[in-house]
Chains A and B, each alone.
Chain A
Amino acid sequence: MAVVQAERPGPSRFILPILGLIAVGLCLGGLLVLLDPKGGPNLLASIYDALGNTSGADDLRNGQGDQLIAKLILAAIALAVGVGGIWLLFLGVGGLVSQLQPKYRDRILPWVFVGPALALLAVFLVYPAAGTILRSVQDEAGNFTLANFGVLLEPDYTAILRNNLLWLVVGTAGSVLLGLVFAGLFDRVRRESLAKTIIFLPLAISLVGASVIWQFVYAWQPEGQTQIGLLNAIVVGLGGEPIPWLTSNPLNVFCEIAILVWLQTGFAMVVFSAAIKGVSGEVIEAARLDGANERQLFIRVIVPMIRGSVITVATTIAIVTLKIFDIVYVTNGGRFGDDVVANQMFLQLFQFFDDGVAAALATVLFIAVLPVMYINLRNFRRQGVGG
């Protein structure tokens, strides 16, 4: 298959380096604009000056005027420098390296490809993780201490850890079980894809948006007033007293978990549904011939056969529940006994300015996901790297 041709000789030898240099210049200029805190407005102001629109330029420099256009220009520059700059780097350095002897070329070129990714991973994930672990065992002066973890023994934190455990168990089990049941049921109806889309759709909604949707479902008014929340309208309609779903503990923890289950069930269902379609028809026929009814068939034959998918989905959702922040932060900030580790970490960081305790709480989350990391690495070792 001769899809790829060798390097073409000709005028491109001279034109390409010149174009490359111009592009490098543009990228550096763009980078300067990006690094300037007021880069966007200043650039547009300069353009307005050049066009003779001095009042528009002054407005921009004073933080008024066409800020919207300035913002869009900034984003366009980021896109051009980010994507274009990366391509330029790879093509330029790659082209230079390709001129070297094959022995050196083959050794250096891979590092050109993985270099930017590794640098970003080091700066944004590896170095900070090490820094956070270190900070969690230091006091303000940098001396070793375990006092930051000591807060975990306080009564407030007992409730926080209990809530995280509830999220982990109820949230994961709820999403996985509903996902399994829906996948099994929908497999037998004619409008399967429509039904799946409906269950799947909430996955596109942000946790903040979902929290608003459900706050409205859970809305509570004192007894005697009109209930505009759906759940309390039903409760009152059936003759009960309105229930303060989101302010009575521990009920509110379950109500918040329900929001996540509403979102994640679609994810579980889609994965299970694909796995069920992969179960061979012969196995199912054999089970039917052995006299299994539909329920037995599903629980005893199909579910065990898609065990791998169940475990993958469960671990994915488990990690989401451990780190849960948005729902708790948005519904009532964890003020009614429904606090969780990630929300408390945010409060420690931005409300109490206690970096040490915040780092300790982050480290607790990190330790909690270590088993999943171990499983991932073990699975991966089995497959090996390099195709």
Chain B
Amino acid sequence: MTAPAQPIEQPAVRVGWRPAFIRSLPLRLTVFVICALWTIPTLGLLVTSVRDPALIATSGWWTSLLHPFEPNQWTLSNYETVLSSDGMGNAFINSLVVTIPSVAIPITIAAFAAYAFAWVPFRGRGILFTIVVALLVVPIQMSLIPILQIYAAGNLYGSFLGIWLAHTGFGLPLAIFLLYNFMSQLPRDLFESAAIDGASALQVFTRLVLPLSIPALGAIAIFQFLWVWNDLLVALVFLGPGADVRVLPTALYNLIGSRGGSWHLLTAGAFITMVVPLLVFLLLQRAFVRGILAGSVKS
């Protein structure tokens, strides 16, 4: 527990007569300015996305914020346009279709594998898990060319099945590693008493390990969700730009190409790609932070 800067603990020279409120003012002002700087870019996007297109090219978005009650400047028509005629609505559905299986499948497979690596001894376990750790940092770029060749031969290019499998493969190392870290911390007594009760490895997994691992599973699900939902490269390479399978990041990229200067549509499109991850993130922030800490802070 770190004590916040209390006036009494300050060296005597710095205490003086000023009340604590004024002394902490520079610090609080600095924090406020930092937070404002971090928010302004996103705020500009949001404000622009609901402004009248005619205004966007002639005045900065901040003018609307300074005069919010002037009539005829706010509109939702930008969203209507990008959702329908620019195909963002279709891309939104595609993103859901791509993301949900791409999160659920790798986590299920990783949970079984992590359990075996952590608690079921078998020959070659050490070397195989070492390989998983090594694969953690292998760039995705190393996989693109050979997988593309396999997909071309197997008719998987541009198919949802292809991208589900790809995201499953690419997401596995981190999911196995994080789940292993969590599961290996479970108390040994638990497993010993289960063994005495005559439980098989399978029963231990389904009735003990899995229920106890729910916090870790949740954190990894959020990770994988953000990664898949926000991914551009894997979608571009394995799904391609075809309109019927296009996901949100690809659709937004295409929008920049076709509607380069149309900020009213670009900003609305960008916000549509962001809304689900932002909601997930705000609602499940604690689980997410826990996952990040589990992945980067060794206990």
Interface residues of A, Cβ cutoff 8 Å to B: 1-7, 34-35, 37, 67-68, 71-72, 74-75, 78-79, 82-83, 86-87, 90-91, 94-95, 98, 105-107, 109-111, 113-114, 116-118, 120-121, 123-129, 131-133, 135, 182, 185-189, 195, 197-209, 212-217, 219, 226-230, 233, 262, 267, 270-271, 274-277, 279, 281, 284-285, 288, 291, 293-294, 308-309, 312-313, 316, 319, 322-323, 325-326, 329-330, 342, 345-346, 349, 355, 358-359, 361-363, 365-366, 369, 372-373, 376-377, 379-381, 383-387
Contacts and interface: CB of A to CB of B under 8 A. Distances in A.
Contacts of B274: 204-206, 209
Contacts of A366: 138-139, 141-142
Contacts of B88: none
B143 A387 contact: no
B44 A217 contact: yes
Given A110-B122, A124-B166, A313-B296, A323 B273 contact: no
Nearest to A383: B298
A24 B182 CA distance: 32
A151 to B, nearest CB: 16
B263 A271 contact: no
Interface in B126-167: 126, 128-148, 150, 155, 159-161, 164-166
Q: Interface range on chain B: under 10, 10 to 19, 20 to 34, or 35 or more?
A: 35 or more
Contacts of A203: 226, 281
Interface in B215-246: 226, 229-233, 236-237, 244
B214 interface: no
B78 interface: no
A123 B57 contact: no
Contacts of A330: 232, 253, 256
Contacts of A381: 130
A209 B143 contact: no
Given A82-B101, A199-B34, A228-B56, A204 B226 contact: yes
Contacts of B74: none
A188 B4 CA distance: 5
Interface string B73-116: 00000000000000000100110110011001100111011011
B233 A117 contact: no
Most chain A CB neighbours (cut-off 10 Å) among B56, B142, B256 = B142
B57 A228 contact: yes
A342 B141 CA distance: 7
A68 B59 CA distance: 40
B27 A198 contact: no
Given A3-B194, A75-B96, A208-B232, A113 B115 contact: yes
A313 B293 CA distance: 10
B39 interface: yes
Nearest to B184: A387
A362 B144 contact: yes
Contacts of A94: 200-202
A109 B256 CA distance: 52
Contacts of A271: 292-293, 296-297
A319 B137 contact: yes
B274 to A, nearest CB: 5
Nearest to A370: B137
Given A113-B112, A226-B60, A230-B62, A359 B42 contact: no
Interface in B4-48: 4-5, 9, 11, 14, 24, 27-28, 30-31, 34-35, 38-42, 44-45, 48
Given A182-B34, A187-B2, A323-B140, A230 B44 contact: yes
Nearest to B96: A75
28 contacts: A4-B204, A72-B93, A79-B101, A109-B202, A116-B112, A117-B110, A118-B113, A128-B147, A131-B146, A132-B145, A182-B34, A185-B27, A189-B27, A216-B41, A216-B266, A226-B58, A227-B60, A233-B60, A233-B62, A275-B297, A277-B2, A293-B14, A323-B139, A330-B232, A345-B141, A362-B142, A380-B130, A383-B298
Given A3-B207, A131-B145, A208-B252, A380 B137 contact: no
A293 B39 contact: no
Contacts of B148: 349
A207 B232 contact: yes
Contact of A316 (B134, B188, B277, B296): B296
A185 B101 contact: no
A109 B202 CA distance: 8
B120 A121 contact: no
Nearest to B272: A209
Contacts of A319: 137, 139
Contact of A128 (B108, B142, B273): B142
B104 to A, nearest CB: 5
A88 to B, nearest CB: 11
A294 B3 CA distance: 12
Contacts of B133: 376-377, 380
A137 B152 CA distance: 23
Nearest to A4: B199
Contact of A87 (B3, B44, B108, B267): B108
B201 A109 contact: yes
A326 B2 contact: no
B208 A4 contact: yes
A267 B285 CA distance: 12
Contacts of A322: 139
Contact of A2 (B90, B134, B197): B197
Given A79-B101, A82-B108, A83-B105, A189 B28 contact: yes
